[in-house]
Amino acid sequence: MAKFTDIIGQEQLKEHLQNAITMNKVSHAYIINGERSSGKEFIAKVFAAALQCGKGGPEPCGECHSCRQASSGNQPDIIFVSHEKPNTVGVEDIRVQINNDIGIKPYSSPRKVYIMNEGEKMTVQAQNALLKTLEEPPEYAVILILTTNVDALLPTILSRCVVLNMKPVSDHKVKKYLMEELEIPDYKAGICVAFARGNIGKAKMLATSEEFEKVKEEAVTLVKNINDMELSEIVKAIKKISEYKFDVTDYLDILSVWYRDVLLFKATKDANSLIFKDELQHIRRMADRSTYEGIETIVKALQQAKRRLEANVNFDLTMELMLLTIQEN
């Protein structure tokens, strides 16, 4: 079964949780804050298994009855809080699954552990309902709230929880994991590492995704040909982008890394630091043709497009403005 030693990076976070177990100073509530796919749920499951382990050590033993149950997802005192509506954790979700259940003593373990993913989706009413439990929790209860946005939680919730922030994993460790554990070739691993930016789950997803490879190739083809494209062709390209199942911010990240390579090569003429090494000819041509100001304008346009999409500005309009800015520079 998974153990703390299987967690790549996050040394401070691991040390904090394991020390809490060893010193018997486990808090009643933790918030684990980090990007999507960064491994929050993996860590929460390992911590929960260690808390319930029959041997009582800082690592789940993997052999006792509780650990075997936890490994198969059937430990009755490790409860996963779900929500019916995809974008909202409502007050009823909290009342039914936590508040009305927490008073019942553990079935077979020293503690009752609740794991709630997507804590940022809790409504204010749901948070206030949870607050009542956090103010006077039973001695045996531990609540783990996982979130991508700790700022979405009320200050009163934050003040009653230990907040632990996920840190980016070093590129070296991410690349080592991809190459040794997943047997990803060096070049491909390097590209995935550049896009993942320290997010091990995202790196794994990119490395094993056929669609990412396809999206990457099409994005690169677009930037190589954009200067010769008519407006109608740009509109057609936007329609194609909107059809990807992939997160559009990943598409923008591909373009960002491409122009980072162009800028880097223009400044240093060093091909060894490039992510898109196999596109050196095109990178060189673009670097020679572009000005520093032009590349900077493009990078800013990509960042602006990301912000607009996060603010739910019209997709087609946002992408058209961005691609026309790229074409002009």
Range of the domain at 260: 209-328
pLDDT of residue 246: 63
CB atoms within 10 A of CB 282: 17
- Same domain for 140 and 283, yes or no, is no
According to DSSP, residue 90 is labeled -
- Same domain for 148 and 263, yes or no, is no
pLDDT of residue 245: 57
Distance, in Å, from the CA atom of 133 to the CA atom of 187, rounded to the nearest integer, reads 50
- Same domain for 40 and 121, yes or no, is yes
**Which residues, given as ranges, of the chain have pLDDT below 70?**
245-246
pLDDT of residue 306: 87
Distance, in Å, from the CA atom of 311 to the CA atom of 217, rounded to the nearest integer, reads 28
SS3 208: coil
- Same domain for 23 and 99, yes or no, is yes
pLDDT in tens, 81-106: 999 888 899 999 999 999 999 999 99
Q: Quote the pTM value.
A: 0.80
Single out the residue of 160, 126, 179, 157 nearest to residue 28, CA to CA.
Answer: 160
Report which secondary-structure segment, H or E, holds 124: helix 124-135
pLDDT of residue 209: 84
CB atoms within 10 A of CB 266: 18
- Same domain for 9 and 116, yes or no, is yes
- Same domain for 135 and 280, yes or no, is no
pLDDT of residue 275: 86
- What is the tally of structural domains in the chain? 2
pLDDT of residue 123: 94
Instruction: Look at residue 185 and tell me if it is in a domain.
Output: no
pLDDT of residue 249: 78
pLDDT in tens, 234-249: 888 888 888 775 677 7
Instruction: Look at residue 188 and tell me if it is in a domain.
Output: no
CATH classification of the domain holding 240? 1.20.272.10
CB atoms within 10 A of CB 305: 23
Instruction: Look at residue 311 and tell me if it is in a domain.
Output: yes
